[in-house]
Amino acid sequence: MVKEILLGVVIAFAIFAALLGINVTPLLFLAGVFLLLNYIIENKGLIPGSKNIIKPESEISFEDIGGQKTAISELKEALDFVINKEKLSKMGIRPIKGILLTGPPGTGKTLLAKAAAKYTNSSFIATSGSEFIEMYAGVGAQRVRNLFETARNLARKENKNSAIIFIDEIDILGAKRGTNESHHEYDQTLNQLLVEMDGIKSDGEINILVIAATNRPDLLDPALLRPGRFDRQVVVDLPDKSGRLQILKIHTKNKPLGEDVNLEAIAENTFGFSGAHLESLCNEAAILAMRDNSDVILQKHFVEAVDKVILGEKSDKKPAEEEIFRVSVHEAGHAIISEIVNPGSVATVTIVPRGKALGFVRQFDKEDTLIYTKEQLEKDIMVALGGTVAELLVLGNRSTGSVNDFEQAVHIAKKMVYTGLSGLGIVSREDVPKEKVNEEVNKIIKEEEEKVQKMLEEKLEHLEEIANILRKEETISGEKLRELISAVKL
């Protein structure tokens, strides 16, 4: 409205000046430049408007979200404060102003925020922390003010008495002040967010609830997390086996499944998958079924989709025969050691190139493990070293194909050092010299490598037999691998 009034004043002044014989060309030029800049700024989002706000395409309820039973329960408890506003007012309870969702990417934080809006019958708008940061001074703070005003206006338009503002990647907007000394725009924007959250009142016409998400809560400014701003922190973690099964059931409801499909087995074989991974898995399985001209999705499509989600699409590049045999020996070494130290742990062994990997041994966990003993970590190191030791025994040398295995072994060994499970005993990560850590890591890996070498020397016939079969068939299931190990006699 202000822009229209100013434009009218400029036009009136230009007409008046022209009647007096004054040259108005420079004035018109400046007015045109002003209008052009205003148009560019608004359309590029430098001054925020409704274009920066994302409204959900469809309503989502908590029943549509799987694998987050604990997070949903905690979130509902916090949202009940919004629903029972009158009761809270009688009891003199201060309303919750903000809820922080933390957890790995793809676990459903955005979906939970959308479901919260439906649960509380609130208007919902979403934005990202990166939308507020610009090189222009004051722009971020103006965007924050506009965001809260837009939420109130949207609630009035939809005849609702509450609105939920969802800010994804809050760690970009709410990073600790002083960490960007050369760019005070970050601090000004965060300050404005703090002011807006402090201004939220329970007796206002429209109640505002801010829900934010991040996978790096350690980066947030302490002022954001104090009581009166983000009062609740809800952890949205990776789903366990039962959670993965629930998610798989949700994402296969609209898909034709074959009679042989065992979703529980798939849930068991997808340890560490997020909800986003599982959605992609179901989608990839459907694509593979369509490529095979199958009317239904079979178990084999899900099994192949698991490898595709982990490693990527099959590579068209075919390695040379010598490389194929080396990869077969390498993966056979991994698989045999895995079966020795963790019987029944191998799901699939393959030398089909996917992404950057020339081969892969996929394992599955019977139970989701949250803590590890020293013995379990030592076994993981042994499995990681199985490939390179197998190459040394069968081919007489090592290759660069073991680089990722070495990185994994070193990572596990360092975990042993820093958690007091090594010969160094309990150490301080900040105070222990890097040279001392490196020496202990080398000692741990050398000891485990000697154990692996003795195991594979005793199973050398197994190793060569399985490597030759793998070279011909390219893929061996865990069941067949165990049959081969039992069948070969020394």
Query: CATH class for domain 241-311?
Result: mainly alpha
Cross-strand bridge partners of residue 165: 125, 210
Q: Which pLDDT score is estimated for 6? A: 59
The pLDDT of 29-58, averaged and rounded, is: 52
Q: Which residues contact 33 (CB under 8 A, 6 or more apart)?
A: none
Between the alpha carbon of residue 379 and those of residues 50, 178, 337, 445, the distances in Å are 55, 44, 9, 11
The pLDDT of 86-107, averaged and rounded, is: 81
Query: CATH class for domain 321-487?
Result: mainly alpha
Residue 308 has pLDDT above 50, yes or no: yes
Digit-coded pLDDT (tens) for 269-279 = 887 888 889 99
Q: Which pLDDT score is estimated for 129? A: 77
Assess contact for 224 and 179: CB atoms under 8 A. no
Digit-coded pLDDT (tens) for 281-292 = 999 999 999 999
Q: Which pLDDT score is estimated for 365? A: 60
Of 185, 281, 205, 291, residue with least CA distance to 239? 281
- Under CATH, which architecture does the 52-235 domain have? 3-Layer(aba) Sandwich (3.40)
Quickly state the pLDDT bin for 146 (edges 50, 70, 90).
Answer: confident
Positions marked catalytic: 331
What percent of the chain has a predicted confidence (pLDDT) above 70? 79
Please state the length of the chain: 490
Task: Specify the pTM.
Answer: 0.68
The DSSP code for 257 is B
Q: β-strands 207-214, 162-168: how paired? A: parallel
Q: Which pLDDT score is estimated for 2? A: 47
Digit-coded pLDDT (tens) for 250-259 = 999 989 999 9
Assess contact for 166 and 113: CB atoms under 8 A. yes
Q: Which pLDDT score is estimated for 448? A: 95
Tokens of 172: 């970009």
The chain-wide mean pLDDT, for the chain, equals 81
